Structure 1
Protein backbone atom coordinates (compact mmCIF):
# COMPACT_ATOMS: atom_id res chain seq x y z
CA UNK A 1 0.00 0.00 0.00
CA UNK A 2 1.24 3.45 -0.77
CA UNK A 3 1.58 5.86 2.08
CA UNK A 4 0.13 9.33 1.89
CA UNK A 5 2.90 11.86 2.06
CA UNK A 6 2.54 15.15 3.81
CA UNK A 7 2.84 18.08 1.38
CA UNK A 8 6.23 19.72 1.51
CA UNK A 9 4.66 23.06 2.37
CA UNK A 10 2.61 21.72 5.30
CA UNK A 11 4.24 23.05 8.49
CA UNK A 12 4.80 20.68 11.38
CA UNK A 13 3.99 21.71 14.94
CA UNK A 14 7.72 22.07 15.61
CA UNK A 15 8.24 24.34 12.60
CA UNK A 16 5.23 26.39 13.66
CA UNK A 17 6.77 26.89 17.09
CA UNK A 18 10.09 27.83 15.55
CA UNK A 19 8.36 30.29 13.21
CA UNK A 20 6.44 31.84 16.10
CA UNK A 21 9.70 32.26 18.00
CA UNK A 22 11.24 33.98 14.96
CA UNK A 23 8.26 36.34 14.78
CA UNK A 24 8.69 37.23 18.44
CA UNK A 25 12.37 37.91 17.91
CA UNK A 26 11.58 40.05 14.89
CA UNK A 27 9.12 42.06 16.97
CA UNK A 28 11.76 42.65 19.61
CA UNK A 29 14.20 43.83 16.92
CA UNK A 30 11.75 46.63 16.04
CA UNK A 31 13.21 48.55 18.96
CA UNK A 32 16.63 48.68 17.28
CA UNK A 33 15.39 51.53 15.07
CA UNK A 34 14.81 53.71 18.16
CA UNK A 35 17.80 55.62 19.52
CA UNK A 36 17.47 57.04 23.02
CA UNK A 37 17.71 60.85 22.73
CA UNK A 38 20.12 62.80 24.92
CA UNK A 39 18.96 65.17 27.64
CA UNK A 40 19.67 68.17 25.42
CA UNK A 41 17.69 66.63 22.55
CA UNK A 42 14.74 66.01 24.86
CA UNK A 43 14.84 69.62 26.05
CA UNK A 44 14.96 70.94 22.47
CA UNK A 45 11.95 68.77 21.66
CA UNK A 46 10.03 70.10 24.66
CA UNK A 47 10.82 73.68 23.69
CA UNK A 48 9.01 73.13 20.37
CA UNK A 49 5.83 71.84 22.02
CA UNK A 50 3.20 73.33 24.29
CA UNK A 51 2.58 71.84 27.76
CA UNK A 52 -0.88 70.81 26.56
CA UNK A 53 0.59 68.78 23.69
CA UNK A 54 2.96 66.93 26.02
CA UNK A 55 0.17 66.27 28.55
CA UNK A 56 -2.12 64.91 25.82
CA UNK A 57 0.54 62.53 24.52
CA UNK A 58 1.28 61.39 28.08
CA UNK A 59 -2.43 60.65 28.60
CA UNK A 60 -2.45 58.61 25.38
CA UNK A 61 0.49 56.51 26.60
CA UNK A 62 -1.23 55.96 29.97
CA UNK A 63 -4.37 54.75 28.17
CA UNK A 64 -2.34 52.47 25.87
CA UNK A 65 -0.58 50.82 28.82
CA UNK A 66 -3.86 50.37 30.69
CA UNK A 67 -5.44 48.58 27.71
CA UNK A 68 -2.45 46.23 27.41
CA UNK A 69 -2.36 45.59 31.14
CA UNK A 70 -6.01 44.48 31.23
CA UNK A 71 -4.88 41.31 29.46
CA UNK A 72 -1.66 41.14 31.51
CA UNK A 73 0.34 41.67 28.32
CA UNK A 74 3.79 43.17 29.01
CA UNK A 75 4.30 46.50 27.26
CA UNK A 76 7.29 46.97 24.95
CA UNK A 77 8.98 50.32 24.43
CA UNK A 78 8.98 49.60 20.69
CA UNK A 79 5.17 49.42 20.69
CA UNK A 80 4.77 52.60 22.75
CA UNK A 81 7.06 54.53 20.39
CA UNK A 82 5.59 53.04 17.20
CA UNK A 83 1.87 53.15 18.01
CA UNK A 84 1.48 56.07 20.42
CA UNK A 85 4.48 58.38 20.76
CA UNK A 86 5.16 58.45 16.99
CA UNK A 87 6.41 61.93 15.97
CA UNK A 88 7.06 62.76 19.64
CA UNK A 89 9.78 60.09 19.87
CA UNK A 90 12.47 62.72 20.55
CA UNK A 91 10.84 63.44 23.93
CA UNK A 92 9.98 59.82 24.76
CA UNK A 93 12.06 59.76 28.00
CA UNK A 94 10.11 62.75 29.33
CA UNK A 95 6.77 61.21 28.33
CA UNK A 96 7.66 57.93 30.03
CA UNK A 97 8.75 59.77 33.17
CA UNK A 98 5.43 61.64 33.30
CA UNK A 99 3.52 58.44 32.54
CA UNK A 100 5.25 56.67 35.41
CA UNK A 101 4.50 59.59 37.74
CA UNK A 102 0.81 59.50 36.72
CA UNK A 103 0.52 55.80 37.53
CA UNK A 104 2.22 56.37 40.90
CA UNK A 105 0.31 59.43 42.11
CA UNK A 106 -3.12 58.90 40.53
CA UNK A 107 -3.58 55.13 40.38
CA UNK A 108 -1.18 53.76 43.02
CA UNK A 109 0.58 51.67 40.37
CA UNK A 110 4.25 51.29 39.57
CA UNK A 111 5.54 50.93 36.01
CA UNK A 112 8.44 48.49 36.22
CA UNK A 113 10.89 47.36 33.58
CA UNK A 114 11.17 43.56 33.66
CA UNK A 115 13.44 43.21 30.64
CA UNK A 116 16.17 45.83 30.37
CA UNK A 117 17.52 44.41 27.10
CA UNK A 118 14.27 44.70 25.15
CA UNK A 119 12.74 47.41 27.37
CA UNK A 120 9.59 45.61 28.47
CA UNK A 121 7.34 46.98 31.23
CA UNK A 122 4.52 45.80 33.47
CA UNK A 123 2.23 47.54 35.94
CA UNK A 124 2.50 46.50 39.59
CA UNK A 125 0.11 47.49 42.35
CA UNK A 126 2.02 49.53 44.94
CA UNK A 127 -0.71 49.01 47.53
CA UNK A 128 -0.44 45.83 49.60
CA UNK A 129 -3.29 43.44 48.65
CA UNK A 130 -5.39 41.82 51.39
CA UNK A 131 -3.39 39.29 53.42
CA UNK A 132 -0.32 40.08 51.32
CA UNK A 133 -1.69 38.04 48.44
CA UNK A 134 -0.32 39.32 45.14
CA UNK A 135 -2.40 37.20 42.79
CA UNK A 136 -6.07 36.67 43.51
CA UNK A 137 -6.84 33.03 44.27
CA UNK A 138 -10.60 33.52 44.23
CA UNK A 139 -12.77 30.80 42.67
CA UNK A 140 -13.93 33.37 40.09
CA UNK A 141 -10.44 33.29 38.61
CA UNK A 142 -9.74 29.63 37.78
CA UNK A 143 -6.90 30.46 35.40
CA UNK A 144 -4.95 31.92 38.31
CA UNK A 145 -5.39 28.62 40.11
CA UNK A 146 -4.00 26.79 37.09
CA UNK A 147 -1.06 29.20 36.97
CA UNK A 148 -0.38 28.71 40.69
CA UNK A 149 -0.33 24.95 40.24
CA UNK A 150 2.24 25.20 37.45
CA UNK A 151 4.37 27.74 39.31
CA UNK A 152 4.16 25.45 42.33
CA UNK A 153 5.38 22.45 40.32
CA UNK A 154 8.34 24.48 39.05
CA UNK A 155 9.14 25.86 42.52
CA UNK A 156 8.98 22.44 44.19
CA UNK A 157 11.30 20.96 41.54
CA UNK A 158 14.04 23.52 42.01
CA UNK A 159 13.10 26.20 39.49
CA UNK A 160 12.99 24.28 36.23
CA UNK A 161 10.82 21.36 35.11
CA UNK A 162 10.29 19.44 31.88
CA UNK A 163 7.11 20.23 29.97
CA UNK A 164 6.04 16.58 30.06
CA UNK A 165 6.11 16.58 33.87
CA UNK A 166 3.77 19.58 33.97
CA UNK A 167 1.26 17.89 31.66
CA UNK A 168 1.45 14.61 33.61
CA UNK A 169 0.91 16.41 36.93
CA UNK A 170 -2.09 18.30 35.56
CA UNK A 171 -3.59 15.02 34.38
CA UNK A 172 -3.40 13.70 37.95
CA UNK A 173 -5.36 16.79 38.99
CA UNK A 174 -7.98 15.94 36.31
CA UNK A 175 -6.87 18.73 34.00
CA UNK A 176 -6.00 16.82 30.83
CA UNK A 177 -4.01 19.02 28.40
CA UNK A 178 -5.21 16.80 25.56
CA UNK A 179 -8.88 17.53 26.21
CA UNK A 180 -10.94 20.70 26.19
CA UNK A 181 -11.44 21.89 29.77
CA UNK A 182 -14.73 23.41 30.93
CA UNK A 183 -12.97 26.43 32.51
CA UNK A 184 -9.74 26.80 30.53
CA UNK A 185 -10.66 25.50 27.09
CA UNK A 186 -7.42 24.53 25.34
CA UNK A 187 -5.14 24.04 28.36
CA UNK A 188 -1.90 23.87 26.40
CA UNK A 189 -2.78 27.06 24.54
CA UNK A 190 -3.51 28.88 27.80
CA UNK A 191 -0.22 27.74 29.33
CA UNK A 192 2.16 28.01 26.38
CA UNK A 193 0.69 31.08 24.70
CA UNK A 194 -1.16 33.08 27.34
CA UNK A 195 0.95 32.56 30.48
CA UNK A 196 4.21 32.76 28.52
CA UNK A 197 3.14 35.91 26.68
CA UNK A 198 2.18 37.48 29.99
CA UNK A 199 5.69 36.62 31.26
CA UNK A 200 4.44 34.46 34.13
CA UNK A 201 6.22 31.48 32.59
CA UNK A 202 9.22 30.84 30.39
CA UNK A 203 8.94 28.02 27.85
CA UNK A 204 12.51 27.10 26.90
CA UNK A 205 13.74 24.56 24.36
CA UNK A 206 16.15 21.97 25.77
CA UNK A 207 19.20 21.93 23.48
CA UNK A 208 20.36 18.77 21.69
CA UNK A 209 17.11 16.83 22.18
CA UNK A 210 15.42 14.72 19.50
CA UNK A 211 12.46 14.78 19.46
CA UNK A 212 12.34 18.36 20.75
CA UNK A 213 11.86 18.80 24.48
CA UNK A 214 10.94 21.95 26.38
CA UNK A 215 11.22 23.16 29.97
CA UNK A 216 9.15 25.55 32.05
CA UNK A 217 10.63 28.17 34.35
CA UNK A 218 9.26 31.10 36.33
CA UNK A 219 8.83 34.22 34.19
CA UNK A 220 9.84 37.77 35.02
CA UNK A 221 6.32 38.83 36.00
CA UNK A 222 5.96 35.88 38.37
CA UNK A 223 9.20 36.87 40.12
CA UNK A 224 7.69 40.28 40.85
CA UNK A 225 4.03 39.45 41.52
CA UNK A 226 4.00 36.00 43.14
CA UNK A 227 4.78 35.48 46.81
CA UNK A 228 6.64 32.19 47.29
CA UNK A 229 5.32 31.99 50.85
CA UNK A 230 1.72 32.23 49.61
CA UNK A 231 2.51 29.78 46.85
CA UNK A 232 3.91 27.27 49.33
CA UNK A 233 0.79 27.67 51.49
CA UNK A 234 -1.30 27.02 48.39
CA UNK A 235 0.68 23.85 47.64
CA UNK A 236 0.21 22.78 51.26
CA UNK A 237 -3.56 23.11 50.91
CA UNK A 238 -3.46 21.26 47.60
CA UNK A 239 -1.58 18.30 49.12
CA UNK A 240 -3.03 18.60 52.65
CA UNK A 241 0.49 19.06 54.03
CA UNK A 242 2.24 21.52 56.33
CA UNK A 243 4.29 23.93 54.15
CA UNK A 244 7.19 23.71 56.63
CA UNK A 245 7.51 19.99 55.91
CA UNK A 246 9.14 21.00 52.61
CA UNK A 247 12.17 22.34 54.45
CA UNK A 248 14.27 23.39 51.45
CA UNK A 249 11.42 25.19 49.70
CA UNK A 250 10.29 26.77 52.98
CA UNK A 251 13.76 28.20 53.57
CA UNK A 252 13.85 29.62 50.06
CA UNK A 253 10.38 31.12 50.42
CA UNK A 254 11.08 32.77 53.77
CA UNK A 255 14.65 33.96 53.18
CA UNK A 256 14.74 37.64 52.17
CA UNK A 257 16.38 38.01 48.78
CA UNK A 258 17.36 41.00 46.71
CA UNK A 259 14.77 41.44 43.98
CA UNK A 260 15.96 41.24 40.40
CA UNK A 261 13.25 43.72 39.45
CA UNK A 262 13.91 47.48 39.46
CA UNK A 263 13.48 48.89 42.96
CA UNK A 264 11.55 51.91 41.76
CA UNK A 265 9.47 53.14 38.83
CA UNK A 266 11.06 53.60 35.44
CA UNK A 267 11.88 57.17 34.59
CA UNK A 268 14.17 57.61 31.62
CA UNK A 269 13.96 54.53 29.38
Structure 2
Protein backbone atom coordinates (compact mmCIF):
# COMPACT_ATOMS: atom_id res chain seq x y z
CA UNK A 1 0.00 0.00 0.00
CA UNK A 2 2.84 2.38 0.87
CA UNK A 3 4.59 1.63 -2.44
CA UNK A 4 1.39 2.36 -4.38
CA UNK A 5 0.95 5.70 -2.60
CA UNK A 6 4.57 6.64 -3.33
CA UNK A 7 4.14 5.73 -7.00
CA UNK A 8 0.95 7.83 -7.21
CA UNK A 9 2.74 10.82 -5.67
CA UNK A 10 5.75 10.47 -7.99
CA UNK A 11 3.51 10.34 -11.07
CA UNK A 12 1.67 13.48 -9.93
CA UNK A 13 4.96 15.20 -9.19
CA UNK A 14 6.20 14.73 -12.77
CA UNK A 15 3.91 17.64 -13.68
CA UNK A 16 4.66 19.40 -10.38
CA UNK A 17 0.96 19.29 -9.47
CA UNK A 18 0.10 19.53 -5.74
CA UNK A 19 -1.20 16.22 -4.36
CA UNK A 20 -4.42 16.09 -2.35
CA UNK A 21 -5.22 13.62 0.42
CA UNK A 22 -8.65 13.09 -1.14
CA UNK A 23 -7.02 11.90 -4.39
CA UNK A 24 -4.74 9.45 -2.57
CA UNK A 25 -7.72 8.00 -0.71
CA UNK A 26 -9.90 7.84 -3.81
CA UNK A 27 -7.38 6.34 -6.24
CA UNK A 28 -5.10 4.28 -3.99
CA UNK A 29 -6.30 3.55 -0.46
CA UNK A 30 -10.02 3.31 -1.29
CA UNK A 31 -11.68 1.22 1.43
CA UNK A 32 -8.49 1.36 3.50
CA UNK A 33 -8.83 5.10 4.12
CA UNK A 34 -8.64 4.54 7.89
CA UNK A 35 -4.92 3.70 7.66
CA UNK A 36 -4.09 6.96 5.80
CA UNK A 37 -2.22 8.65 8.71
CA UNK A 38 0.00 5.60 9.23
CA UNK A 39 0.70 5.18 5.50
CA UNK A 40 1.47 8.86 4.88
CA UNK A 41 3.89 8.92 7.86
CA UNK A 42 5.83 5.98 6.43
CA UNK A 43 5.72 7.44 2.91
CA UNK A 44 7.08 10.76 4.18
CA UNK A 45 9.87 9.00 6.10
CA UNK A 46 10.85 6.82 3.11
CA UNK A 47 10.92 9.75 0.67
CA UNK A 48 13.22 11.63 3.04
CA UNK A 49 15.59 8.81 4.00
CA UNK A 50 15.82 6.94 0.69
CA UNK A 51 15.28 9.58 -2.00
CA UNK A 52 16.28 12.83 -0.27
CA UNK A 53 12.82 14.22 -1.03
CA UNK A 54 10.49 15.97 1.38
CA UNK A 55 6.71 15.55 1.24
CA UNK A 56 5.59 18.98 2.43
CA UNK A 57 2.02 19.70 3.52
CA UNK A 58 1.28 23.19 2.18
CA UNK A 59 -2.40 23.24 3.15
CA UNK A 60 -3.14 21.59 6.51
CA UNK A 61 -6.88 22.26 6.28
CA UNK A 62 -7.40 20.47 2.95
CA UNK A 63 -4.30 18.23 3.27
CA UNK A 64 -2.48 19.26 0.11
CA UNK A 65 1.15 18.24 -0.43
CA UNK A 66 4.08 18.99 -2.73
CA UNK A 67 7.24 16.94 -3.16
CA UNK A 68 10.42 18.99 -2.93
CA UNK A 69 14.10 18.22 -3.39
CA UNK A 70 15.90 18.37 -0.04
CA UNK A 71 19.38 17.63 -1.29
CA UNK A 72 20.15 20.32 -3.85
CA UNK A 73 18.60 23.66 -4.80
CA UNK A 74 17.74 24.28 -8.43
CA UNK A 75 21.09 25.18 -10.06
CA UNK A 76 21.56 28.15 -12.37
CA UNK A 77 22.72 25.94 -15.23
CA UNK A 78 19.25 24.34 -15.37
CA UNK A 79 18.40 27.11 -17.86
CA UNK A 80 20.35 25.42 -20.64
CA UNK A 81 18.90 21.94 -20.11
CA UNK A 82 15.25 22.75 -19.37
CA UNK A 83 13.83 25.82 -21.17
CA UNK A 84 10.72 26.06 -18.95
CA UNK A 85 12.80 25.96 -15.79
CA UNK A 86 15.09 28.54 -17.36
CA UNK A 87 12.12 30.85 -17.98
CA UNK A 88 10.90 30.32 -14.42
CA UNK A 89 14.40 31.07 -13.11
CA UNK A 90 14.45 34.40 -14.99
CA UNK A 91 11.05 35.38 -13.54
CA UNK A 92 12.04 34.38 -10.00
CA UNK A 93 15.25 36.39 -10.30
CA UNK A 94 13.32 39.49 -11.42
CA UNK A 95 10.94 39.15 -8.46
CA UNK A 96 13.80 38.59 -6.02
CA UNK A 97 15.92 41.50 -7.23
CA UNK A 98 12.88 43.83 -7.19
CA UNK A 99 12.15 43.17 -3.52
CA UNK A 100 9.90 40.12 -3.56
CA UNK A 101 6.91 41.39 -5.52
CA UNK A 102 6.58 42.86 -9.03
CA UNK A 103 3.79 44.01 -11.27
CA UNK A 104 2.93 41.72 -14.16
CA UNK A 105 3.96 44.43 -16.65
CA UNK A 106 7.54 44.37 -15.28
CA UNK A 107 7.80 40.64 -15.95
CA UNK A 108 6.50 40.96 -19.52
CA UNK A 109 8.82 43.89 -20.26
CA UNK A 110 11.77 41.79 -19.08
CA UNK A 111 10.73 38.77 -21.14
CA UNK A 112 10.18 40.98 -24.19
CA UNK A 113 13.92 41.74 -24.14
CA UNK A 114 14.46 37.97 -24.38
CA UNK A 115 12.06 37.84 -27.36
CA UNK A 116 9.34 36.11 -25.35
CA UNK A 117 5.98 37.79 -26.02
CA UNK A 118 2.82 37.00 -24.05
CA UNK A 119 0.56 37.03 -27.11
CA UNK A 120 2.66 34.75 -29.31
CA UNK A 121 3.05 30.98 -29.55
CA UNK A 122 6.60 30.20 -28.49
CA UNK A 123 8.62 27.30 -29.91
CA UNK A 124 9.68 26.00 -26.46
CA UNK A 125 6.95 27.33 -24.17
CA UNK A 126 3.78 27.26 -26.28
CA UNK A 127 1.23 29.68 -24.80
CA UNK A 128 3.59 31.73 -22.62
CA UNK A 129 0.91 33.60 -20.67
CA UNK A 130 -0.86 30.35 -19.82
CA UNK A 131 2.43 28.73 -18.81
CA UNK A 132 3.36 31.57 -16.45
CA UNK A 133 -0.01 32.57 -14.98
CA UNK A 134 -1.56 29.07 -14.81
CA UNK A 135 0.99 26.23 -14.95
CA UNK A 136 3.71 27.85 -12.82
CA UNK A 137 1.02 29.02 -10.38
CA UNK A 138 -0.59 25.56 -10.18
CA UNK A 139 2.84 24.09 -9.48
CA UNK A 140 3.23 26.58 -6.59
CA UNK A 141 6.34 28.09 -8.19
CA UNK A 142 4.66 31.49 -8.56
CA UNK A 143 1.85 33.43 -6.92
CA UNK A 144 -0.24 35.55 -9.30
CA UNK A 145 -2.41 37.99 -7.37
CA UNK A 146 -4.78 40.73 -8.46
CA UNK A 147 -3.84 44.16 -7.12
CA UNK A 148 -6.87 45.57 -5.23
CA UNK A 149 -8.80 48.54 -6.60
CA UNK A 150 -7.23 48.48 -10.07
CA UNK A 151 -9.37 49.17 -13.11
CA UNK A 152 -8.61 47.68 -15.55
CA UNK A 153 -7.41 44.80 -13.34
CA UNK A 154 -3.65 44.59 -12.70
CA UNK A 155 -1.76 41.66 -11.22
CA UNK A 156 1.51 41.10 -9.42
CA UNK A 157 3.86 38.13 -9.06
CA UNK A 158 5.54 36.69 -5.97
CA UNK A 159 7.53 33.54 -5.30
CA UNK A 160 5.33 30.49 -4.70
CA UNK A 161 5.74 28.02 -1.84
CA UNK A 162 7.60 25.47 -3.97
CA UNK A 163 10.14 28.05 -5.16
CA UNK A 164 10.65 29.21 -1.57
CA UNK A 165 11.57 25.66 -0.56
CA UNK A 166 13.53 24.55 -3.63
CA UNK A 167 15.37 27.55 -5.04
CA UNK A 168 18.53 28.91 -3.40
CA UNK A 169 18.37 32.72 -3.21
CA UNK A 170 22.14 32.84 -2.80
CA UNK A 171 22.72 30.87 -6.02
CA UNK A 172 20.30 33.19 -7.75
CA UNK A 173 22.10 36.28 -6.45
CA UNK A 174 25.45 34.83 -7.56
CA UNK A 175 23.98 34.20 -11.01
CA UNK A 176 22.74 37.80 -11.32
CA UNK A 177 26.06 39.10 -9.99
CA UNK A 178 27.94 37.22 -12.71
CA UNK A 179 25.69 38.72 -15.38
CA UNK A 180 26.47 42.23 -14.10
CA UNK A 181 30.10 41.45 -13.25
CA UNK A 182 29.60 42.61 -9.66
CA UNK A 183 30.06 41.21 -6.19
CA UNK A 184 26.87 39.68 -4.65
CA UNK A 185 27.25 42.01 -1.65
CA UNK A 186 26.76 44.99 -3.99
CA UNK A 187 23.04 44.31 -3.54
CA UNK A 188 22.92 44.65 0.25
CA UNK A 189 19.16 44.05 0.65
CA UNK A 190 19.15 40.93 -1.51
CA UNK A 191 22.38 39.64 0.05
CA UNK A 192 20.87 40.03 3.51
CA UNK A 193 17.77 38.10 2.47
CA UNK A 194 19.83 35.39 0.72
CA UNK A 195 21.89 34.77 3.85
CA UNK A 196 18.93 34.94 6.25
CA UNK A 197 17.31 31.91 7.83
CA UNK A 198 14.14 30.21 6.51
CA UNK A 199 11.88 32.40 8.64
CA UNK A 200 13.06 35.46 6.72
CA UNK A 201 12.71 34.00 3.26
CA UNK A 202 9.15 35.01 2.33
CA UNK A 203 9.16 38.23 0.27
CA UNK A 204 7.72 41.25 2.01
CA UNK A 205 5.40 43.88 0.58
CA UNK A 206 7.41 46.77 -0.86
Normalised TM-score (structure 1): 0.69
- Select the residue among 53, 61, 74 that pairs with 1:134: 74
Note if contact 1:62-1:99 (Cα within 8 Å) is conserved in structure 2.
yes
Note if contact 1:162-1:216 (Cα within 8 Å) is conserved in structure 2.
yes
The residue number in structure 1 matching 2:149 is 208
Matches of 1:114 and 1:240 in 2, distance apart? 37
User: Structure 1: any 5+ residue segments left out of the alignment?
Assistant: 1-56, 262-269
Matches of 1:175 and 1:216 in 2, distance apart? 17
**1:203-242 per-position Cα deviation (integer Å, ceiling 9, x unaligned):** 1112222111111111000110011101112222344443
- In the alignment, is residue 107 of structure 1 matched against residue 51 of structure 2? yes
Matches of 1:260 and 1:236 in 2, distance apart? 19
**1:127-159 per-position Cα deviation (integer Å, ceiling 9, x unaligned):** 3x3xxx434633111111111111111111211
The residue number in structure 2 matching 1:18 is none
- In the alignment, is residue 81 of structure 1 matched against residue 25 of structure 2? yes
Larger Cα Rg: Structure 1 or Structure 2?
1
- Select the residue among 194, 197, 209 that pairs with 2:138: 197
The residue number in structure 2 matching 1:116 is 60
- In the alignment, is residue 253 of structure 1 matched against residue 194 of structure 2? yes
Note if contact 1:135-1:144 (Cα within 8 Å) is conserved in structure 2.
no
The residue number in structure 2 matching 1:7 is none
Poorly superposed stretches of 4+, deviation over 4 Å: none
- Select the residue among 100, 117, 120 that pairs with 1:179: 120
**1:186-216 per-position Cα deviation (integer Å, ceiling 9, x unaligned):** 2111111211111000111122221111111
- Select the residue among 154, 169, 172 that pairs with 1:228: 169
The residue number in structure 1 matching 2:96 is 155
Note if contact 2:56-2:68 (Cα within 8 Å) is conserved in structure 1.
yes
